[in-house]
Amino acid sequence: MSANLLSLPSAISKNQYPDMLIINVKDNESIDKALKRFKKKFEKTGVLRELRSRTAFEKPSVKRRTQVIKAAYKEKMYGNHTEQ
């Protein structure tokens, strides 16, 4: 059994942490630019948005109502503009 435990790390693929953000700092790149790239990547993943949505339980009826309101807003803003 201990042999299996020792061989376990070698069985894990190279992409051991698929959810981890990795920012390679280039030569002569300032920390500010690297942080800016990190923030953009972090925003794209939506981790913080999901964390905030999971802080409190939201009833399915409230979720549906919110989706309908968002859809109506999007339709009003970006909807079919062929009306004349």
pLDDT tens, position by position, for the chain (84 residues)? 444 444 444 444 555 666 788 888 989 999 999 999 999 999 999 989 999 989 999 999 999 999 999 999 999 998 876 655
Number of residues that this document lists for the chain: 84
Q: Is residue 71 part of a domain?
A: yes
CB contact at 8 A, 21 and 40: no
Residue 23 lies in a domain: yes
Give the domain extent around 42.
9-78
pLDDT of 10 reads 44
Q: At 18, phi and psi to the nearest 5?
A: -70, -25
Q: Report residue 2 as tokens.
A: 């201990």
pLDDT given at position 21: 85
Asked if the structure places residue 49 within a domain, the reply is yes
Residue 51's pLDDT is 92
Task: Tell whether 2 is covered by a domain.
Answer: no
| Per-residue pLDDT at 2 | 42
Q: Are 15 and 26 in contact (CB under 8 A)?
A: no
Give the residue from 5, 6, 40 showing the smallest Cα distance to 21.
40
Q: Please give the tally of structural domains in the chain.
A: 1
Extract long-range pairs of 78-84: CB within 8 Å, 24+ residues apart. Answer: none
pTM exceeding 0.85:
no
